[in-house]
Amino acid sequence: MLTVTVNGVPREVVRGDRNLLSFLRYDLGLTGSKYGCGEGLCGACTVLVDGQPLRACMTTTGAVAGGEVTTIEGVATGETLEDLHPVQRAFVEEQAMQCGYCIPGFVMGTIGLLNREPHPSAGQIREALAEHMCRCGTYQRIEKAVQRAAGGEA
Partner 1 sequence: MSPLSIVGDVQVGFPAVRTGYGQQTYGNTQPQTQRATWVRIEPDGSVTAFAGKVEYGQNIRTGLAIEVADELRVPLAAVTVILGDTDRVPWDMGTFGSQSTARVGWQLRKACATAREALLSMAADRLDLPAADLEARDGRVVSKSDPSRGVGYADLLGEQELEIEIAERPTVTPPSEFTQMGRQHLIRVDGIDRVTGRAVYSQDVLPEGVLYAAVIRPPAYGARARSVDFAAAERMPGVVRVVHEGSLIAVLAEDDEAAALGARVATIDWELTPGQPGRFEMPSHLVESGTEPFTMQERGDLGEGFRGAAHVLESSYYIPYIAPAPMEPRAAVALWEGDHLTVWAGTQRPFGIRQELSAAFDMPEERVRVIAPEIGGGFGAKSPYGLATEAARLAKVAGRPVRVAYSRADEMAWSNFRPAALVKIRSGFGADGRLTAWDSVAYHSGERVMIGRRGADTPYDAPHVLSVVYRSDSPLPSGSYRSLGAAVNHFAREVHMDEIAEAIGVDPVELRLRNLSEPRFRRVLEATAEAFGWTGPRLANGHGAGIALGIDVGSYVATAAEVSVQEKEVRVHRVSAALDCGLVVNPEGAANQMEGSIVMGLGGALFEAADFQDGRLLTTTFARYRVPRIVDAPKIDVRFVGDDDAPSTGAGEPGIVPIAAAISGAVFGATGQRHRELPIQRYL
| Chain residues that interact with partner 1, rule: CB under 8 A | 18-19, 22, 25-27, 29-39, 41-42, 44, 71-73, 75-81, 84, 88-89, 91-93, 95, 97-104, 107, 125-127, 129-143
Q: Which of residues 128-147 bind ligand FES (CB under 6 A)?
A: 134-136, 138
- In terms of DSSP H, where are the helices of 2-153? 20-22, 86-93, 103-116, 122-128, 139-149
CB under 5 to 8 A by kind: which of ligand FES, partner 1, none does 126 bind? partner 1
Residue 102 touching ligand FES (CB under 6 A): yes
State in angstroms the smallest separation of the CB of 71 from ligand FES: 13
By the 10 Å C-beta count (0-12 exposed, 13-18 middle, 19+ buried), 21 is classed as: buried
CB atoms within 10 A of CB 142: 26
CB under 5 to 8 A by kind: which of ligand FES, partner 1, none does 45 bind? ligand FES
Report the distance separating Cα 7 and Cα 68, nearest Å. Answer: 7
CB under 5 to 8 A by kind: which of partner 1, ligand FES, none does 148 bind? none
Are 25 and 33 within 8 A, CB to CB? yes
